[in-house]
Amino acid sequence: MDLKERMKDAINTLKLPVTCRLGYLDGKHSPDLRLQVLPGSTVIDRDYAGNKTEQYAMEIIMRGDEELVINQVLATIADYLCDNDFRVVSHDGSFVYSELGVASFPHPVMADTTGEVTYVFDFKVTVDTFTKEG
């Protein structure tokens, strides 16, 4: 399923001052903006054919030394993702987007001795997935 790639691509259409990448913060970039799929994704519903409605817990995490920029970037992303018109479309037909719900708005989670701060924004994406026929 290409959900995380399509979410990353959607975020990167915003022309932010930093590019969103997949995975964890690695300390090699500053500022660094990442999209992660978190543990705890669940199947909400399943039919007899094997088609499912699934909910994926995701997190946008940003680290850098300019707290104002981090707040602006994450607020822009939150506004975009929370818009009722937001949609993502699978490129390989593996899912159909249903909805996005906010778990927590952008907030700080860490500051280190180098002056870098880390903020996160958590949300859940609900999609329908279908069994492959044949």
Write out pLDDT tens, residues 80-95: 999 999 999 999 999 9
Task: Tell me the pLDDT tens digit for each residue of 59-113.
Answer: 999 999 999 999 999 999 999 999 999 999 999 999 999 999 998 889 999 998 8
Residue 89 confidence (pLDDT) = 96
Q: How far does Cα 48 stand from its chain's mean position? A: 30
Residue 134 confidence (pLDDT) = 37
Distance CA 75, CA 105 (A): 8
Residue 88 confidence (pLDDT) = 97
Which runs of consecutive H residues, i.e. helices, occur in the chain? 3-12, 67-82
Task: Tell me the pLDDT tens digit for each residue of 5-47.
Answer: 999 999 999 999 999 999 999 888 889 999 999 998 888 888 8
DSSP 8-state code for residue 93:
S
Residues 74/106, Cβ–Cβ less than 8 Å: yes
Tokens 């975009």 sit on residue = 80
pTM to 2 decimals?
0.90
Task: Calculate helix-pair angle for 3-12, 67-82, nearest 10 degrees.
Answer: 120
Residues 128/49, Cβ–Cβ less than 8 Å: no
